[in-house]
Amino acid sequence: MFVFAIFRLAGSSADRLLELMNKKTEIDENKEGKEIVFKGNIAFENVEFTYPESKKPVLKDISFEVQTGQTVAIVGT
């Protein structure tokens, strides 16, 4: 019975999180920005990235090209 109560609570929490994530906000996160329609590709060559509080780069010598309409994510552990 205890496990069932935990699962019900977890389900309610997940429902609430989804409700909050899908809620529309009144904040315009890009009110100063402009939408640009790209007609070409974007190339990154020998890119390096280091977090401000770190001395060691998390990305080093990365090169890739993003095609028009393509979505790219860099994910690490």
* pLDDT of res. 9: 65
* pLDDT of res. 2: 66
Q: How far apart are CA 40 and CA 49, in angstroms?
A: 24
Decide if 50 is inside a domain: yes
Decide if 75 is inside a domain: no
Decide if 74 is inside a domain: no
Decide if 76 is inside a domain: no
Decide if 59 is inside a domain: yes
Structural contact between residues 50 and 58, judged by C-beta atoms closer than 8 angstroms: yes
Can you tell me which residue has the tokens 């935990």?
Answer: 6
Q: Tens of pLDDT along 19-43?
A: 877 877 776 666 776 777 778 899 9
In terms of residue numbers, what domain contains 39? 2-25+35-66
Number of domains in the chain: 1
DSSP 8-class letter at 26: S
Q: How far apart are CA 66 and CA 72, in angstroms?
A: 7
Can you tell me which residue has the tokens 């402009």?
Answer: 34
